[in-house]
Amino acid sequence: MSERLRNIVLLAIIATMAVLLVATVSTRPASEDRVGALGSQIKCPVCQGESIADSPSQMARDMMDLVAERVDRGFSDEAIIDELLASYSGAVLLDPPVSGATLALWLAPMVAIAIGVTVIVWWRRHPGDESTPGANGAPSRRRLLIGAIVLIAAFAGVVVVAANSLQEREGASAGVADLDDQDLSEVSNETLEAVIAANLDHPQINGMRLALAGRYYDAGDYRSAFPHYLAVAEDGTATGGEAVTSLVRLGWMAYDGNGEVGTANRLLDQALEIEPGSQIALYLKATVIWCGEGDAETATTILVGLLSDPDLAEESRTQIEADIARASGDEACA
């Protein structure tokens, strides 16, 4: 093989591996593919050995919708999986199938290294005609140098991937400390989501969950609020106030969002077991009984009991009195 042809072949190898490395490291699977791949890794909490991607249950559908939403927002796979496992009791990580994209991501640098080593070894064994006048072994040394560059570039690709992953984790882990003295109202939903997903065991996470869930709740985005309230309600370390807030909101979302009267009453009763005098829990329970069950009499009894609370705000008292008047007059609930 002539010197010129060898150089052309070597340059072609270098260019091909450079393109493969850049394309593999920088390219992510399509959103739909990511959603399906992530869903196939999570066991449906209410199914027998099925993933949420394969299960027809409503809970699995809700979880898949959450995955799709997080993918659209640019969350990492790890953050999405961590949130699902933390938010849904009974959800566990299944053995994930080998992903072609993931396999290529890690194999491409290894292949590049192997080719780099092969290039060096091959040209050491086939140094060409170094006896040519004026050559002084320069072509061989140049080939070794180029081969070494290929090898170094391959290692650099691995380092870039690992460093980006490590930086992402460390940045999220430091997020709670960074937000300690910051007004959460100034922090975006996306930032809070990322901090929560990366610091699930931190003692301040319940407060952050409630702050974020409250935003979703006030905006009527029950789907996004639900996993955060559920996680706090199921957390044995949550304070009584945190648990009551979560159960009350879950109860109202069950009724207002899905019309589930029984579930709403059960959750509100759990809140009242923790805090029997909770004004909001009592008021919402009366509303669910009146509007959902059509039992105006029982609802009126609860509302009259609320009026005896000396801590009841005047605005709330006015609203409750108006509700009692409508319920007593057999008017439709408001």
Over range 124-145, report the average pLDDT. Answer: 54
Check whether residue 12 and residue 123 sit in a common domain. yes
What is the band of 92 on the pLDDT scale with cuts at 50, 70, 90? confident
Between CA 273 and CA 275 the distance in angstroms is 6
* Residue 298 confidence (pLDDT): 94
Check whether residue 83 and residue 105 sit in a common domain. no
Average pLDDT over all residues of the chain: 77
* Residue 212 confidence (pLDDT): 92
> Residue 56 burial by CB count (10 A; 0-12/13-18/19+): exposed, middle or buried?
exposed
Residue 226 forms part of a structural domain: no
Check whether residue 38 and residue 139 sit in a common domain. no
Residue 179 forms part of a structural domain: no
* Residue 194 confidence (pLDDT): 79
Least confident residue range of 14-18, 44-48, 174-178: 174-178
Between CA 196 and CA 229 the distance in angstroms is 13
CATH for 77: 1.10.8.640
Check whether residue 50 and residue 110 sit in a common domain. no
CA–CA distance from 233 to each of 60, 178, 264, 266, 318 (Å)? 20, 26, 14, 13, 31
Q: Does 329 score more than 90 pLDDT?
A: no
- 269-300 per-position pLDDT tens digit: 999 999 999 999 999 999 999 999 999 999 99
Residue 92 forms part of a structural domain: no
Number of domains in the chain: 3
Out of 136, 157, 173, a domain closes at 173
Check whether residue 144 and residue 68 sit in a common domain. no
Over range 145-150, report the average pLDDT. Answer: 61
Check whether residue 17 and residue 103 sit in a common domain. yes
Check whether residue 66 and residue 107 sit in a common domain. no
Between CA 208 and CA 180 the distance in angstroms is 10
Residue 302 forms part of a structural domain: yes
Percentage of the chain lying above the pLDDT 90 cut: 34
Check whether residue 279 and residue 307 sit in a common domain. yes
Between CA 45 and CA 87 the distance in angstroms is 11
Check whether residue 315 and residue 265 sit in a common domain. yes
Out of 130, 158, 173, a domain closes at 173
Residue 141 forms part of a structural domain: yes
Residue 128 forms part of a structural domain: yes
pTM greater than the 0.85 cutoff = no
DSSP alpha helix (H) spans, 126-220: 138-173, 175-179, 189-198, 205-218
* Residue 101 confidence (pLDDT): 45
Residue 304 forms part of a structural domain: yes
Check whether residue 16 and residue 144 sit in a common domain. yes
- 309-328 per-position pLDDT tens digit: 999 999 999 999 999 999 88
Residue 268 forms part of a structural domain: yes
Check whether residue 113 and residue 259 sit in a common domain. no
* Residue 109 confidence (pLDDT): 60
Check whether residue 155 and residue 273 sit in a common domain. no
**Residue 245 parent element (H or E):** helix 240-258
**Domain boundaries, position 248:** 239-328
Out of 173, 191, 220, a domain closes at 173
Q: Does 124 score more than 70 pLDDT?
A: no
Look-up of token digits 């009791």: 89
DSSP secondary structure string for all residues of 149-165: HHHHHHHHHHHHHHHHH
CATH for 263: 1.25.40.10
